[in-house]
Structure 1
Amino acid sequence: MERPWSRVPAEAGRALRPYLVGATDEIITAVRAQVPDYQRPLQGNFGTRITRGVTYALNQFVGLLGSDTDLPDTRIYAELGRVEHQEGRTLAALQSAYQIGTRTAWRAIGESPVAESLPAGVIFELAEALFSYVEQLSAASVAGWAEEEAVRAGSLRARRHALVDALAAQSDPAEIEKLATAAGWIVPARLAALVVEDAVEVASRIPGSVAADGPPAGIAFVPAVRDDVEAVVRAAVRDRPAVLGPVVGVGEAQRTAARARAAWSAHAAGHISQEGDPLLLADARLVELLLAATPDLASDLRERVVGPLREMPSGAAARAIETLRAWLDEHGDVTATAAALHVHPQTVRYRLAGLREVYGDALDHPTGRLELLLGLRTPRPS
Structure 2
Amino acid sequence: MSVVRDDVTQSGPREGAGTTFRTVEWIGDAATGRLRMIDQTLLPTQFVEIDCDDVESVWQAIKRLSVRGAPAIGVAAAYGAVIGARSRGVSDPHTVRQALSQAAAHLSTSRPTAVNLFWALDRMQAAGDAALAGRQPLLESLLDEAHAIAEEDRAMCRAIGRHGAELMTDGDGVLTHCNAGGLATADYGTALAVMFSAHEQGKRLRVFADETRPLLQGARLTAWELVERGIDVTLICDNMAAQVMKEGKIQKVIVGADRIAANGDAANKIGTYGVAVLAKAHGIPFYVAAPSSTFDLSLTDGTGIPIEERDPREVTEGFGRRTAPEGVAVYNPAFDVTPAHLLAGIITERGVISPVDSHTVRTLMGTARASS
Q: TM-score range by the shorter chain?
A: under 0.3
Higher RCO by CA contacts (8 Å cutoff, separation 6 or greater): 2
Structure with greater proportional helix content: 1
Structure with greater proportional strand content: 2
TM, length-normalised to structure 1: 0.21
TM, length-normalised to structure 2: 0.22
